[in-house]
Amino acid sequence: MPNTNMVLVVNAGSSSIKFSLYPAAAGGDARVDEAFGGGLIEGIGIQPQFKARIAGQTVEESWPQGRSLDHEHFYGFLLDWLAQTLPQAAIAAAGHRVVHGGTAFAAPTLVDGAVLAELERLVPLAPLHQPHNLAAIRALGARAPGIPQVACFDTAFHRSIPARDQLYGLPLSFAEEGLRRYGFHGLSYEFIAGALPTYDADAAAGRTIVAHLGNGASLCALQHGRSRACTMGFSTLDGLIMGTRCGNIDPGALIYLLREKGMDVAALEKLLYKESGLLGLSGLSADMRDLLASDKPEAGQAVEMFCDRVAQQVAALAAQLGGLDALVFTAGIGERSAPIRAAICRRLAWLGAELDDAANAAGGPRIGTAGSRIGLWIIPTDEESMIARQTRALLAGRRQPRAATRA
C-alpha cells in the first residue's frame, strides 16, 4: 500500500462518481502517471453501489434500493473509506473534471469561493454536467476544507481556437452573451498533444487531427500541439454521431420538433442527448460492439453513418488546418475497434490515408503504411492522469511566485 501523498482525481456525473488516486509526486517506485487505484460509486438515486480497486484489492459495497442518499453522503463515505483503507497516505489535493470553463478559464484553476461563484454562472451552458462537477467540489470542501481543490476543464484546451472560428452565424450580441463554440474533450486532447511528439515528432510540430471516439465522440484539429478546431461547439451535442447524441443537425429540425411535435425543452433535451445517435438510428444499442455484431440492417446503417460523419468532418478540419500530417485514433472505439478505424481510413484514401491492415488488427500504435501520405496512429488517452498532472503542476507552481493561472 502506498505510503505517500496522493492526488484524488474526481469525475462526478449525475448518478455516478468516478475517482482515482495518483502519487502527488514522483518518488521511490511511484510513477506519477500511474494510478494507485480507483473506483466508482454508481446508481446514485437509484441503487447506489461502490466498487474500488486499490493496492491490488477489490472492494464492493451496496446500499439498499431507494434509500435517498445524496451526493454529499457519498463524498463523506469516500473520504472515510480512503482514510481507513490507506491510513498511512494523505490526500494532498483533489483534481476535478469540470466540463465548462467558459471563455475565462483557459487553464486549471485552484478553486476558492470566487472561482466557485464564477463556475456556478456557467451552469446554464452545461446544465447536465456542471452542477454535478461543482457539487463534488462543494461537498469535498465542506468535509475536508484543508485539501486544495483544482478545477480541470474540458473546454480550456480549446481556448486557442481563433476567435472567428468560435462564432456562429448569429448576431454578434449572442456570442458576447456566451453563445459560441467552446469545444470539449479538452483533457483528452491535451493528453494526446503531450504524447504525440514521442510517436510522430513531425506531426506534433505540424497538423494533426485527433479522433476521440468513445460514447461521446469528437474530433480536434491540432496545429503545433494546440487546438485549432473542434467538432463539438456550444454543447457536447455537436459534430459526430455518438452513442446516444445526435451530432450535427439542421437547427430547422429543432424548430419543427418544438412547433409541430409539441415537444418541450425537457423532451427535446432527452431526445437529442439520450435517445439519438447510434442508439436511435439502430433501435438496438448505443454500444458500437453490439452494432458490429448485429445483422440488423439499421445497425449496419448506423455504423456506416458514424464512419461517414467522421470522414466528412476530418475533411472539414483538414481544410481549417490547410492540410493534414497525421490522424490519431483514441478512446473506446478509436483504441479498440479495428473495423471502424479501417472504414474511416478507406473513406480518407483520397487524402492520402493508407492503412497497414496487419498493424491495425494488432492495435498499432503506428497503423499507416510506409507510403501513407498521412501518419495514422492509435494513442490511448488518459483523462484522469491529465487531471492528476494538471493538479500537481498547479500546486507545485503555488509554492513559487507565479503569474495568475487564468487567461
Q: What is the contact surface with ligand ADP in residues (CB under 6 A)?
A: 214-216, 243, 287-289, 331-333, 336-337
* Residue 147 beta carbon to ligand ADP: minimum distance, rounded to whole angstroms: 26
Catalytic residue among 112, 154, 264, 356: 154
SS3 of the chain: the string is: CCCCEEEEEEEECCCCEEEEEEECCCECCECCCCCCEEEEEECCCCCCEEEEEECCEEEEEECCCCCCCCHHHHHHHHHHHHHHHCCCCEEEEEEEEECCCCCCCCCCEECCHHHHHHHHCCHHHCCCCHHHHHHHHHHHHHHCCCCCEEEEECCHHHHHCCHHHHCCCCCHHHHHHCCCCCCCCHHHHHHHHHHHHHHCHHHHHCEEEEEEECCCEEEEEEECCEEEEECCCCCCCCCCCCCCCCCCCCHHHHHHHHHCCCCCHHHHHHHHHHCCHHHHHHCCCCCHHHHHHCCCHHHHHHHHHHHHHHHHHHHHHHHHHCCCCEEEEEHHHHHHCHHHHHHHHHHCHHHCCCECHHHHHHCCCECECCCCCCEEEECCCCHHHHHHHHHHHHHHHHCCCCCCCCC
Between 336 and 398, CB nearer to ligand ADP = 336
Between 36 and 184, CB nearer to ligand ADP = 184
Closest-CB residue for ligand ADP? 332
Between 89 and 344, CB nearer to ligand ADP = 344
* Residue 289 beta carbon to ligand ADP: minimum distance, rounded to whole angstroms: 5
* Residue 172 beta carbon to ligand ADP: minimum distance, rounded to whole angstroms: 33
* Residue 188 beta carbon to ligand ADP: minimum distance, rounded to whole angstroms: 9
CA gap 352, 372 in Å, rounded = 6
* Residue 286 beta carbon to ligand ADP: minimum distance, rounded to whole angstroms: 6
Could you confirm whether 200 is annotated as catalytic? Answer: no
Between 179 and 361, CB nearer to ligand ADP = 361
Between 4 and 11, CB nearer to ligand ADP = 11
Between 4 and 133, CB nearer to ligand ADP = 133
Give the active site residues: 154
